[in-house]
Amino acid sequence: MKKILIIRFSSIGDIVLTSPVIRCLKTQLPDAELHVLTMKANRLLFEHNPYISRTHSFDGSFSTLLPALRAERYDHIVDLHKNLRSLRVKLALGVTSSSFPKLNLKKYLLVRFKLNMMPPLHIVDRYFKAVECMGVANDKQGLDCYLPSDASAFAKVHGDFSLEKFPQGFVVVVIGAKHYTKILPVDKVIEVCRQVKLPVVLVGGREDAERGEQIASGEGLQAINACGKYGLHESAMIVKLARAVITNDTGLMHIAAAFRKPIVSVWGNTVPDFGMYPYMPANQDDSVIFSIKNIPCRPCSKIGYQRCPKGHFDCMKKHDSSGIAATVNGFIR
């Protein structure tokens, strides 16, 4: 039996985007034993994946991690992070490894000089370059997101968002993101929600709760603020129960894609050209991207900022609220 270590430390969306590689490794190499290495905070994203035998957590210290990994006697490492931390692990274990083209230079050219040399290839397809050496190919079945099978884990969610309370269903609006420049402003979200023809559930973390209250209290809205009231798995279940999802470029966007939800994604300072848009190969028509073209400063970063470097924030403020709402209404007809 071949024992393989897959490395991906963060973040939520990036981890969900590794799921096709994990699935195809196990289904195409059924005798392989797959382990993953991730940050401690992210291990719950792997814990319920049936293709994974063991999850190793990194808590910031190599002193206990490396001896534990050496004891596993891996045959191969698949590096889906490709940073100094994963390099240290590979050097310490001293076994064969493979990785993927990260394209940092091309990303830099796009951000710094607006010279787009990025290949028209999704990050998932680039991840598969790391397993070509083992004869593993993309099955084009999309993303996976595995939740706990214990129904009691979602009792509150199923109670709060039951068919009795929402007989025609609801639309999820993911209002948060890690960086300010990836977040649709409150007034724009209110404009969108006011025109959506189903009740809206606002989803995000604790840091989004106050903004969620601002939105939910908007005049003429039928919106529920769920921000900060549910854990990650519960928020994912709310997404799974939704009729459609409106989202910023953030982790829950990829979770929505894993559940094959119709998605309207709204982009700010980042661009789909980086290859991290919703991955839905079997149902591409269910993903519509709203991205403002011809803004000379965009993309200003491959990740994001806590404020607009130019001060105008046109990449978000110029979005067509009516167009976003009309698109999601088309999905829920």
Q: Is residue 141 part of a domain?
A: no
Asked whether 266 and 248 are in contact (CB, 8 A), the reply is yes
What is the C-alpha to C-alpha distance for residues 97 and 230, in angstroms, rounded to an integer?
38
Residues 65 and 204 in one domain: no
What is the structure's pLDDT at 220?
Answer: 84
The pTM score is 0.97
Q: Count the neighbouring beta carbons within 10 Å of the beta carbon of residue 223.
A: 23
What is the C-alpha to C-alpha distance for residues 307 and 96, in angstroms, rounded to an integer?
42
What is the structure's pLDDT at 150?
Answer: 87
How does the average pLDDT of the chain come out, rounded? 97
CATH of the domain at 33: 3.40.50.2000
Question: Which residue carries 């992210």 as its tokens?
Answer: 42
What is the C-alpha to C-alpha distance for residues 8 and 167, in angstroms, rounded to an integer?
40
Residue of 205, 322, 181 whose CA lies nearest to 264: 322
Residues 129 and 156 in one domain: no
Q: Is the pLDDT of residue 147 over 90?
A: yes
Produce one character per residue of 67-82: b if its CB has 16 or more CB atoms within 10 Å, e if not.
eebeeeebebbbbbbb
Q: What is the pLDDT of residues 219-269, one digit of tens each?
A: 889 999 999 999 999 999 999 999 999 999 999 999 999 999 999 999 999
Please, which residues bridge with residue 287 across strands? 263
Mean pLDDT computed over 147-174: 94
Q: Is the pLDDT of residue 211 over 80?
A: yes
Q: Is the pLDDT of residue 96 over 90?
A: yes
Residues 43 and 120 in one domain: yes
Residues 202 and 270 in one domain: yes
Terminus-to-terminus CA distance in the chain, angstroms? Answer: 50
Q: Count the neighbouring beta carbons within 10 Å of the beta carbon of residue 103.
A: 19
Total domains present in the chain: 2
What is the C-alpha to C-alpha distance for residues 257 and 275, in angstroms, rounded to an integer?
14
Q: What is the pLDDT of residues 267-280, one digit of tens each?
A: 999 999 999 999 99
Residues 130 and 237 in one domain: no
Residues 162 and 284 in one domain: yes
Phi, psi angles (nearest 5°) of residue 270: -90, 165
What is the structure's pLDDT at 100?
Answer: 98
Over the Cα atoms of the chain, what is R_g? 20
Q: Is the pLDDT of residue 1 over 80?
A: no
What is the structure's pLDDT at 52?
Answer: 99
Residue of 172, 185, 150, 182 whose CA lies nearest to 261: 172
Q: Which helix (H) or strand (E) holds 62?
A: helix 62-72
Phi, psi angles (nearest 5°) of residue 289: -105, 130
Q: Is residue 145 part of a domain?
A: no
Categorize the per-residue pLDDT at 152 as very low, low, confident or very high, splitting at 50, 70 and 90: confident
Asked whether 91 and 21 are in contact (CB, 8 A), the reply is no
Mean pLDDT computed over 299-303: 96
Q: Containing domain of residue 194, as a range?
A: 152-331
What is the C-alpha to C-alpha distance for residues 82 and 41, in angstroms, rounded to an integer?
19
Q: Is residue 117 part of a domain?
A: yes
